[in-house]
Homo-oligomer: A and B are copies of this chain.
């Protein structure tokens, strides 16, 4: 039985409302998965995520295989038990981080050899090993091992990445023992023909879902959107489409309209720690002098526990003084904002109103946020 049920299609775009059944509950799509690299969403307690009805988080196979290692996680009874999260978990396959973080990498047709940058231990990640790891974790959604080419890259390098990703996709598919679902990954860089050519053989492998990989690795925003649109169109309607590592709130809306269902991104947590905050008016850098006396919440329409209690002036003061609570509170707001934005998107599809939905603009806003009183924007002079 297909674990993915399509509930409604948006008449104005390729967006759809769906439900993905996992071993740890159903995920309503479109859905954003907060990133919990080492099994913790940095600065945000799992209790908060549950309170906000977050159904799934992402964790990184690469980080977890190095520390604490698969044996510790297995002995704990799997990743859910080890991290204390009883809802769905998706893990990436580790390939992306090996290629971007590990030391002394040697890529062969067989797999990728590397050393831990921390203690120098040697590791060999193959599709079979990536499946064994994710099965050992017991995750709800596992990802096939792929090769994500850097950007920019010679066409030849992207071609090799496509070839290996398809081959490793097949090996992943054949060796995966569950218990969760397995998703395949479409590569091809910014090359339309490579994406198209890869799609057929990938779909033949009949994964439970498909990811669009190799996106947001350095290309322009226009290229990201074009590749997302193209790739989503190449993937089957009946299966969930997961856009890896993207993006801003506006990116999410555009990608939902392109037909994507699942998303993960470090932006809300990483930006929270750096003092960058998402609002309905755009991204804001909290340390700015103009917030010194600003007693409005980060986003006057936001229902998060930080906006319900604290002002920009308070948060700015903590952040400027490097108080430990500042990155925590800003991360809480940002993750809530992302989850809430996805709820807004789902509600708009449900109501047949997605066409009219406007995303917060991308990038830092130059003008001061509107001052507000009692949580409501004041009418401007």
Contact = CB atoms under 8 A, between A and B. Distances in A.
- Top 9 A-B pairs ranked by shortest CB distance? A40-B325, A84-B309, A42-B324, A68-B317, A84-B310, A38-B323, A43-B324, A42-B325, A40-B318
Contacts of A84: 309-311, 314
Given A76-B314, A82-B313, A83-B310, 14 more contacts: A37-B323, A39-B314, A40-B318, A40-B323, A40-B325, A41-B325, A67-B320, A67-B321, A72-B292, A75-B295, A83-B314, A84-B309, A84-B310, A324-B327
A45 interface: yes
Contact of A325 (B43, B68, B311, B326): B43
A263 B129 CA distance: 54
A55 interface: no
Interface string A24-51: 0000000000000111111111110000
A334 B324 CA distance: 15
A180 B375 CA distance: 28
6 contacts: A38-B318, A42-B325, A63-B321, A75-B293, A82-B311, A84-B314
A45 B37 CA distance: 23
Interface of A: 37-47, 63, 67-68, 72, 75-76, 82-84, 273, 292-293, 295, 305, 309-311, 313-314, 317-318, 320-321, 323-329, 331-332
A79 to B, nearest CB: 10
B42 A323 contact: yes
A315 to B, nearest CB: 9
A329 B40 CA distance: 10
A292 B68 contact: yes
- State how many copies of this chain the complex holds: 2
A324 B270 CA distance: 10
A45 B313 CA distance: 17
Nearest to A85: B309
A193 to B, nearest CB: 41
Contacts of A320: 67
A47 to B, nearest CB: 6
Nearest to A45: B305
Contacts of A323: 37-38, 40, 42
A139 to B, nearest CB: 16
A313 B72 contact: yes
A82 B292 CA distance: 12
A37 B325 CA distance: 11
Contacts of A38: 317-318, 321, 323
A320 B118 CA distance: 12
Nearest to A118: B321
